[in-house]
Each structure stands twice: as C-alpha cells, then as structure tokens.
A and B are shown apart, each in its own frame.
Chain A
Amino acid sequence: MQLRGVAIEDTFAEAFTMRVARVVVTARNPRWAREAALKMTGFATSVIGCKVEAGIERELAESETPDGRPGISVLLLTMAREDLGHRLIERVGQTVLTCPTTSCFDGLPEAPDRVGVGSALRVFGDGFQGSKVIGGRRFWRIPVMEGEFLVEDKFGLQKGIGGGNFVILATDADTALAAAEAGVEAIAQVPGVILPFPGGIVRSGSKVGARRSKGLIASTNDAYCPTLRAVTASALPEGVGSVLEIVVDGTDAPAVSRALRVGIDAACREGVVAITAANFDGKLGPHHFHLRQIMSGDGTR
C-alpha cells in the first residue's frame, strides 16, 4: 500500500490493556488550567520508567466543564488498577491542589469502577475541609491559602489502551521531525487519546531487553537506528536516515485507531519513505492495530 508515495508497511502496532482515568482541571483562565495540566502530565511518558503515562487530551470550553470555567482534559494510564489510584492522588495533590485558581473534576463520571481521590486529599484540610454533594456527585472543599480547592471525591476508571503507535521512516532528521509534527497536530483533534511523549514524539523507540545489560527491561531499538545500519540487523529500507515514533494511548480501540489513521495520513509527505509500527510479534499486547486496515478504514483485530 502506498499513500502519496509513502509505503504503508504490512504490519501492526501492538498495544496493551491499561487502566485509564480522565481528569478535568479548570481554572480562572486557560493559562492556569494549562499550567496545572502540564505539571500533572510531566514525567509521564512511559510506564517503563514513570509509573504512569499521561497527557493532555484537549482543551475544554467553558460550556463543557462542571463549573463553567476554561478547562483541560487529561488522561492518565497505568498497567494496574491499584496503581492508578495512587498516581491520581499524588499528581492531583502535588500539581493541581498547589496551582492557583484550579478545581479538579472526574472526567469519567459514568464509569462504575471508582477510586477515591478527593476523599484522600481532603485530609490536607486538617479537619477544616468540608464536602458538598451536587447532583449526586460528592466534592471536597479544601481550604488553602489562596481560598478553596475543590476536588471531586471519586474518579472513574476504565479499561484503556496504551502503546498504539506508528513509526515514520524518513530520509533525514528534519523531514522525520516535520512529518511527526504534522501527525501530532492532526491527532490533537481526536478525542479520547493522548500522546504521552515530549511533543507527542519518541526518538528512542525501544526493544524488549538488552544485549549487554541483562537486567534492563528495554534498550535502544538498534534495528531502527540509522547510525547502526552497518553493524546490526537493520530493519531500515534503503534511503532512510532518521526514524521517529508516535505513541498513542487512549480510552478505547476506536479512538486509538482514529488517531493512528489521521496521524499517519498527515505524516505521509515528501521525504517520508515508509510508515511502519512497533510490535512484539503479537506476543505481548492483545490489541493489534494493522496499519493497512486502519488506512483503508478498518479497525483493530
């Protein structure tokens, strides 16, 4: 399959079932909502080393938030359900509670699986906190020096998907970056997904394990490193001088599939040789996003 002269390889992205929460942060203006969201999603690229994967899903208009203020929707994902509760408490407590003018709401109110967040953070109020039940949802009012921090009692969790991806094989680094940026920009319009890596782009895709350091769970994907073409079993076609990857996490397979489709479509531009995807021969992740099926309008296996 070719798309505007770019080869779409006959392969699939292999992704994992994770647990996802959606956090809605509001503030007096978009700037402070974004400040909190950026802090909350910092150092959250991969569960390999960060305990949680997180990113900004999208900006929310005033009409979309519970308090009618500008907001940001954030997705956080972990492999285990128990971990997600801990990470939410840590991150909401350290990055949203501390941020001027913010309030924090559950973005999955219909999810039956719920974990206490405000109910844990309330103790910061040292007995001066109070709660309100509004429309069947409980909120905690925690007094802070600025005024009051409002946080929802419980947050919904659901199964999500982590590790959807596509890999851009380009002639040079500038072209690869431009193509990846175009892909990221296109995916930003897709609800239900995040790109947890810096700017949405990964330059250091990994393989499982390592040649030398036996304890290492991941190491550089030498087959896709252009500088190693001459010394390793390279997977790079002729003419490829730089490779970048876009990793997509999402609330469900259709959302990830949509993101991959628009991202790949945007990334197929002059100077891109091929689009491929990272997988583990289907041995690790239950979700397989077949690139050619996605680009022809199909979903996942």
Chain B
Amino acid sequence: MTAEATLTLRAPLQRRVDGSTVAWGALGGLDGAGIGAQEVWVEDAERATLGDLFEVKGAPAPRIRLVGDLGLMDGIGAGLTAGELVVEGDAGWRLGRRMSGGVIEVRGNAGPLAGGADPGAKRGMTGGEIIIRGSAGPMAGAGSRRGLIVVQGDAGDDAGRAMIAGSVLVFGSLGENPGLFSKRGSIVAFGAHTPSAPYRYACTYRPPHLRVTLRYLQARHEVPVAAGQLTGAYRRYSGDLAELGAGEILSWIP
C-alpha cells in the first residue's frame, strides 16, 4: 500500500457533479479499479464513475489526493468517517456532507455549506476536520453537530448558522449573521466581522481551549497562526440568545 493515491481530473468539469454517492470513507481500502468504479451523478446526464472523470494512481492508500479544479464537484468527502482527503484545487458545494471523522483539506476555495447540513436535515457534520486553505462560501458549518472547520481565507454569510456544536475558525473576514440560530458551538473570528444581533458581549479574555486548538492546527495542519492570535485576548459574545444561548463568537483583538 502506498502512502497516497492520486485522482487526477482527466478534463475540466463542464457540468456540476454530485460526489455524495462516493464511499469516500472506504476509498482508502480500494485499489484503482475499485475507486474508479465509484458512481457519481452528473448534472443533466446519466450516471458516471470516478474512473470516467479521474485517472487513479497509487491506490490503495490511506490518503486520497484529488487534483484539478473541482469547484463544480459537490459532496466531496460526504460521509467520511476516517482517513485523509486532500483537494488540490477548489471544491464545490457541501464539502464533507454528513462526515463524522477524518480530515478534508482543500487547498483552494470551498463552495457553500462546507460541513453544513442539507436543507431540512437535522445536522451537518458530526465529527472530523475540514481545513480550507482558501475561502469558504456561505453557511460553512451550518447545523454542524461536532467537528472543526478552519477557513484560512474569508467565509461567506451565515457561517455556523444553527450550529449544534463544533467549531468554525475563520482567519479572514466573516460574512453577515455568523452563528445565527446556533444552540452551542464556537465561531472564532480573526478578521473583520460583526457579531450577529442576538449575541451579547460577555467579557474579554484568553480562552484556554483556543491555545490548544491553535497549537494543534499549527502542528498537525501547518495552519499559519500569529503569535498574537495564540496568546492574545478575545471578546466573547454569547448567543444565539433567541435559542439556547450556549454558543459563542470569539473575536480576536489584534
């Protein structure tokens, strides 16, 4: 078994592809033929397979690397339970849909609802880690039940909307209405942002858990963390006070 299997996009995607049907959590144990036989749905077309879209090399391997612009591919990492998935380019909608474990790293940008709940679903991701090196679309971590989402760039509106638990860390700017309707969970904002209206300022302090989280992200995922972010003070806002109110927005004070 090699350390890493590579799936290289054969040709740029022209239509949206729904990868939610791929058994992402099982790919690590499959050989090239097994990975290639995984079915996906192509918008306005018949079913296709990963083998139709990607050239597979190096399988089986515990780490799967997807190479190419996958901004039109939705549901990457859906249902992931363990292992590691690396997307070299952009990722589409619903990255890490229903994932409960493992790690997804996107080296480009991610579309809406990264780690978020499907419309009408009770919860989004329930565990695992999503590291987005670029920016994330709206509703990152919406409805998440556990897990960690890190956005090194900007995050769109409604990040952490209706979160039940978990953490969303955004190093760039944060869109409007972060954490609206959340019950618990943490949104950590390092860049420009405005706390949502139903959040109330509690205090300015140094959250002990954040140091552990940031050091972990530095060591495990090479996330660039400034010394001031590690040791500095944060304004804590509690909310959504129209809900349980056990959630928080931690606003870094540069």
Residues of A in contact with B (beta carbons under 8 Å apart):
66-69, 103, 128, 130, 132-135, 139, 141, 147-150
Contacts and interface: CB of A to CB of B under 8 A. Distances in A.
Highest count of chain B CB atoms <10 Å: which of A133, A139, A150: A133
B208 A67 contact: yes
A134 B209 contact: yes
B215 A66 contact: yes
Contacts of B213: 132, 134
A141 B165 CA distance: 14
B216 interface: yes
Contacts, number: 48
Nearest to B247: A130
24 contacts: A66-B212, A66-B216, A67-B208, A67-B212, A67-B215, A68-B211, A68-B215, A68-B230, A130-B184, A132-B167, A132-B212, A133-B146, A133-B148, A134-B148, A134-B212, A135-B216, A135-B220, A139-B209, A141-B207, A148-B205, A148-B208, A149-B208, A150-B208, A150-B209
Given A103-B212, A133-B127, 18 more contacts: A66-B212, A67-B208, A67-B212, A67-B215, A68-B211, A130-B184, A132-B186, A132-B213, A134-B212, A134-B216, A135-B220, A141-B207, A141-B208, A147-B205, A147-B208, A148-B207, A150-B208, A150-B209
Where chain B touches its partner, the secondary structure class is: mixed
B26 to A, nearest CB: 21
Contacts of A130: 184, 246
Contacts of B127: 133
Given A67-B212, A134-B213, A147 B206 contact: yes
Interface residues of B, number: 20
Nearest to B211: A67
Contacts of A147: 203, 205-206, 208
A103 B212 CA distance: 10
A69 B212 contact: no
Given A68-B230, A130-B184, A132-B186, A141 B212 contact: no
Nearest to A135: B216
Interface in B157-186: 167, 184, 186
A148 B212 CA distance: 13
A178 B176 CA distance: 69
Nearest to A104: B208
Interface in B212-227: 212-213, 215-216, 220
A66 B208 CA distance: 10
Nearest to B213: A134
